[in-house]
Amino acid sequence: MGGNGAFALAIVAVMLFLLGIIIGVRIGSELAKGCVTKREYWIANLKILVGGVLVSALIGLTGFTLVAGIPIGAMAGAIASLKMDFGESVGPWKFHDKAFRVNKDQLRRAQDGNAEAVRRARRDGTPMPEVISVADDSPKEGSGKAKGAPRKRSKGK
């Protein structure tokens, strides 16, 4: 095979790897819907890795090395999507997020005890627990107006 044929195969292999990432993102999103606890998160990661290794071994046995990028890309996409959809920095991701100062909201949720309740509500389709504090806007003594109430516009302005 000449130089152009090898280059064309390399392009196809990269495209199949990208296809694997897209497939993996979908798989990771579906797995994340069922993860509530950190234990379930790690079990889902294990399922991704075992499934990817088995598919890679099958491809290796058949000799279709051109499509070997699909399961590798699928594992990468699924693990990244599972982490992002889980919504909390866990394990090595916590170190990654702190070191690179990314996903600050997920780091905050990792320290908050409410994250598991939010994921359980999302999985079960029930209302999410309240996380917003509501300030007391009742009128202060002698002011006659509630704090934060809109001002009335005078006529002519």
- pLDDT tens digits along 9-37: 999 999 999 999 999 999 999 999 999 88
DSSP assignments along 31-74, one per residue: HHHT--SHHHHHHHHHHHHHHHHHHHHHHHHHT-GGGGHHHHHH
- Give the pLDDT of residue 94: 78
Structure tokens at 17: 């790897």
Kindly state the DSSP code that residue 66 receives in the 8-state scheme.
G
In the block, which residue shows the tokens 């399961």? 71
For residue 15, the model assigns a pLDDT of 97
Please say if the pLDDT value at position 40 is more than 90. yes
The two tokens of residue 81 are 């999507």
Least confident interval from 27-36, 68-77, 85-94: 85-94
Structure tokens that stand for 157 in this block: 């302005």
Q: How far apart are the first and last CA of the chain?
A: 81
Q: Is the pTM of this model over 0.85?
A: no
The structure tokens listed for 29 are: 């999103």
pLDDT for position 82: 93
Tens-place pLDDT, residues 130-148: 655 555 555 555 555 555 5
